[in-house]
Amino acid sequence: MTKTTATMPINYTYNTEKRSAHYLIEGETTYKNGGEFAEVVCKAIRGFKPEKDANTKFDMGSDIEETSTSIKSNGCGLTDEKLADNKEDFLKIYFERVHSTNVDYVIIMDNIVNIYNMSMNEFKDFTNEFARWDTYSKKVRIKTTLKMINWFEERVA
């Protein structure tokens, strides 16, 4: 696992009056939710065009195709596709089918961005530890916690 720390590379405004998409990036007209914002920020830091991909299916492509990287952040799901009716089967099917070979987990705190890059084996360990089953949506969700940040820090190479 590796860690990249950077200062926020883009200008944006945060609007609490927007229902679920609070982030407006300077020069754009549509608001982004937290995951979309994290993806744009991560791509900017990694040197790629800072844009949200077109919701490529998890088993057909990656958020950063050039590096086969999936980008995840607080509140994320692994896919919107309903793969199973329980966490264990969902994760099994996900890891059998996922296109990406590595994952960037993005944590934004104030003006600092930390990106933890994991291999799929590391991400599998990560999901076993931190993914929770959402019975309503029938999918896996991940929330950033202090325990998670400590887990990352213990594993950074």
**pLDDT per position as a tens digit, 132-153:** 999 999 999 999 999 999 999 9
Greater confidence (54 vs 91) lies with 91
Residue 90: pLDDT band with limits 50, 70, 90: very high
Residue 56 is predicted with a pLDDT of: 85
Indicate if the pLDDT at residue 54 is higher than 90: no
Q: Average pLDDT for residues 78-100, to the nearest whole number?
A: 96
Work out the pLDDT band at 121, boundaries 50, 70, 90: very high
CB distance 99 to 60 below 8 Å: yes
Rounded percentage of the chain residues whose pLDDT exceeds 70: 100
Assessment of whether the complete model's pTM goes beyond 0.85: yes
Tell me 29's DSSP state: S
Q: In this structure, is the dihedral angle defined by the CA atoms of residues 124, 128, 131 and 136, taken in order, positive or negative?
A: positive
The angle subtended at Cα 63 by Cα 58 and Cα 65, nearest 5°, is 100
Distance, in Å, from the CA atom of 38 to the CA atom of 50, rounded to the nearest integer, reads 10
Helix segments in the chain, DSSP class H: 34-46, 87-97, 120-130, 146-155
pLDDT value, residue 53: 77
3-state secondary structure of 150: helix
| pLDDT (average), residues 35-45 | 97
